[in-house]
Amino acid sequence: MAGSEDQKFSLQEVLDTFKLCLSENKEVYLEQYVAGWRGLVKFLNSLGSVFGFISKDAVSKIQILVSYMKGENASHYATVQSMVKYELDNNLVDVNKKGSHPESGCRTLLRLHRALRWLELFLDRLRTSTEDSKTSALCAEAYNESLAQHHPWMIRKAAGMAFLVLPGRQTFFEVMNVGPPEQVVAKLGEALPLISEVYQITEDLYAQHNLLDLP
């Protein structure tokens, strides 16, 4: 199948990009962060079109960030830290309610950041799950503990319905393209601390600047 190779998800690939996310002084590189999300979107797309409305939103947020990273102020969009500083110093963020900067880098990244928490919780549940665990239940639990708290009723409903058609644990592990279940579990154990660290650094930065509730 022509072109199928570049669409193929590999957990290893995502793991690698999150590994490359952190600079020596623990800044988060936007390019790698976005690359990590691209990999996750690939994975989501491989699960079926029911998840299209989710991956579309993620893609549009990725595109907003990429347009800043490639725009005239690209140099300020090298890391999450430099982006936050630049946008705040130049009043480019709608802080309390939507105004003239509805698509700031800060608020856009915050949406992905919140989704990263879901990912962390979900992957950890998968890692510790047993053969008879239901991926839909693991996913819903992780969602309710994280992203759902930021979503209105309609989206929670739609997400809940999408979760029901998630493939079972075995298929899920196969799509990850890592090898036998033990290897998937090991790989997840490797990936999780990296994802957690990136999450925590971003969370602390946003908290420090009071950015955790950006509209």
Question: 193: burial class by Cβ within 10 Å (0-12, 13-18, 19+)?
Answer: exposed
- Residue from 80, 93, 115, 192 in contact with ligand 1PZ (CB under 6 A): 115
116 and 110 Cβ atoms separated by less than 8 Å: no
Among residues 23 and 164, whose Cβ is nearest to ligand 1PZ? 164
Among residues 10 and 26, whose Cβ is nearest to ligand 1PZ? 10
**What does the DSSP 8-state code read for residue 166?**
P
Interface with ligand 1PZ in residues 21-60 (CB under 6 A): 40, 43-44, 51, 53-54, 57-58
Nearest to residue 142, comparing CAs of 172, 110, 111, 114? Answer: 114
3-state secondary structure of 22: strand
From 109-117, 173-181, 188-196, 203-211, span contacting ligand 1PZ (CB under 6 A): 109-117
Minimum distance from CB of 199 to ligand 1PZ (Å)? 14
Question: 109: burial class by Cβ within 10 Å (0-12, 13-18, 19+)?
Answer: buried
Residues found near ligand 1PZ in the complex (CB under 6 A): 40, 43-44, 51, 53-54, 57-58, 111, 114-115, 118, 139, 143, 147, 155, 159, 166
